[in-house]
Amino acid sequence: MSKKCLVLTASPRKGGNSDLLANAFIGGAQAAGHEAHKVETAFKNIGGCIACDTCWSTGYACTQEDDFRTLEPLMEGYDVLVLATPIYWYTFPMQIKGWIDRLYAYGGAGSDRPLAFKESYLLVCGEESDKSAYDNIIYTYNQMGNFLNFKDAGILVASGLGAAGKVQETDFLKQAEALGRNV
Ligand SMILES: Cc1cc2nc3c(=O)[nH]c(=O)nc-3n(C[C@H](O)[C@H](O)[C@H](O)COP(=O)(O)O)c2cc1C
């Protein structure tokens, strides 16, 4: 069955390691007959949650008028969420953290329309080789899925990557493509 994958990237570095991981995943997913749509949150205007508690009062999930609004139909229509991100200080970069915080609108019992995500993937890269450096972002990712009712379908930790494009010297792109093929 063909699935619809919403691939969110987080890095401000175009052509960086996480961007290449996202592209590899998309290539695999499309080769397997799935649909994939990439959104680069670092180049969108998505502020943080302002805790106004006016979610849904205008018919939109969030009352703030920025690019989060253009993502709402995708979040309500795509089966699979893919987060492709570097770690910044052991967690998600602020470039995607605003989007994550704004999921608040979909997190409570008062949510007018549900998220469509049934499953998710995390493609995370970082400079450190020690896998424990990735524990924190993986914990956050897993807790998000637990809270919002989508299941983890795969986590790829592409460690030991500092310079942009370094991932091309590794096997991680093949691993990302394989995850995409197995959506
Ligand atoms: C602000 C900042 C914070 C970072 N924090 C970490 C970190 O905590 N641990 C780590 O292993 N790498 C860290 N890095 C390195 C990046 O995660 C690494 O270079 C990654 O490959 C960048 O991915 P990109 O090419 O997709 O931007 C940091 C980089 C920046 C710019």
Q: Tens of pLDDT along 5-19?
A: 999 999 999 999 999
Ligand 1 in contact with 94 (CB < 6 A)?
no
- CA-closest residue to ligand 1 atom 22: 86
- Give the chain's end-to-end CA distance (angstroms, integer): 10
Pocket residue to mutate for ligand 1, from 43, 85, 87, most atoms within 8 A of Cβ:
87
Structural domain boundaries enclosing 123: 4-181
What per-residue string of b and e applies to 129-138 under the rule 16 or more CB within 10 Å gives b?
eeeebbeebb
Pairing of strands 35-40, 80-86: unpaired
Q: What is the pLDDT of residue 169?
A: 98
User: Is the confidence at residue 97, as pLDDT, over 90?
Assistant: yes
Shortest-distance Cα residue to atom 17 of ligand 1? 126
pLDDT of residue 155: 98
Closest CA to 6 of 124, 115, 140: 115
**What CATH number should be reported for the domain holding residue 104?**
3.40.50.360
Q: Which atom of ligand 1 is nearest to the CA of 20?
A: 26
1 Cα: distance to centroid of ligand 1 (angstroms): 36
Measured from the Cα of 21, ligand 1's closest atom is 26
Identify the residue whose tokens are 């979909």: 106
Residues 68-86, mean pLDDT to the nearest whole number: 98
Q: Tell me the pLDDT of the chain averaged across its residues.
A: 97
Regarding the beta carbon of 40 and ligand 1, being less than 6 Å apart is answered: no
CB of 165 closer than 8 Å to CB of 126: no
Residue whose C-alpha is closest to residue 126's, from 15, 16, 14, 7: 16
Atom 25 of ligand 1: nearest residue by CA position:
16
Structurally, the chain folds into a number of domains equal to 1
Look at residue 108 in the predicted model and tell me its pLDDT: 72
